[in-house]
Structure 1
């Protein structure tokens, strides 16, 4: 009784190998893709955004206010790296750069304890400005 299932298994395996099919090699890539190198553009760097902490520095400069921007850095738990004020400022600059601003007037930067979803959170708020050269 034990021999019957083994014989059936052997017959099914050998039966599939008796089918005649022509062999056709598979090429992984089309020939045109192999001869032409692919060129990718590097990601565009955001324009540099200058930080102003004192509004008196902007008195003699013509500028246009583009809106409010903020940046934050979250420390999820007490074991994570601490919330960093420099990271919050950098994220604020990146958001201002996305608005085509070239300067940010910083209103305030602070570290908040027990913020929603964070153990500690560094937050910076400011105004995105387009400063013209005099």
Structure 2
């Protein structure tokens, strides 16, 4: 019985030693001077979007209407900084840029009180346009 257990122990130890992989030296750390990988490109900057406040400025220019856009700036509480119409306009331009527009015809900008989720809110609405340069 002892002989059998010793044989099994010796067999299991040699079996485990045969499963080891050969030693492979690790390559030294290569320091690169490039900080970003080549396949990652920086995000493209949004195309500048021109604001038109008067529809008569567009009379002689051919354009295509891409849809309605809006921008807002929320004042969360009475102690927060007040809403800014310029911020609402800028957000409207950013939304228009994401629609591939190069102009916005502003319909209205106003500050409203007691908007849902806001103490006061600046809201701008307009039309996103693709104006041709002819």
TM-score of the aligned structures, taking structure 2 as reference length? 0.73
Tell me the equivalent position of 1:99.
Answer: 99
Three-state SS of the structure 1 residue aligned to 2:68 is strand
**Structure 1 residue aligned with 2:78:** 78
Count of residue correspondences: 105
Rg (Cα) greater in structure: 2
Q: Deviations 1:30-83 (Å, cap 9, x if unpaired)?
A: 724x33533264332100000000000000000000000000000000111100
Task: Tell me whether 1:35 sits opposite 2:32 in the alignment.
Answer: yes
The aligned residue for residue 17 of structure 2 is: none
Structure 2, gaps ≥5 residues long: 1-25
For 1:42 and 1:60, how far apart are their aligned partners in 2? 37
- Match for residue 114 of structure 1? 114
Match of residue 124 from structure 1: 124
1:52 alignment partner in structure 2: 52
Deviation at 1:114, TM superposition (A): 0.6
Deviations 1:12-37 (A, max 9, x none): xxxxxxxxxxxxxxx9xx724x3353
Q: Give me the whole-angstrom Cα distance separating, in 2, the residues matched to 1:119 and 1:83.
A: 9
Secondary structure of 2:69's counterpart equals strand
TM-score normalized by the length of structure 1? 0.73
Root-mean-square deviation (CA, aligned residues, Å) is 1.7
Question: Separation in 2 of the partners of 1:35 and 1:122?
Answer: 49
Match of 1:88, SS state, is helix
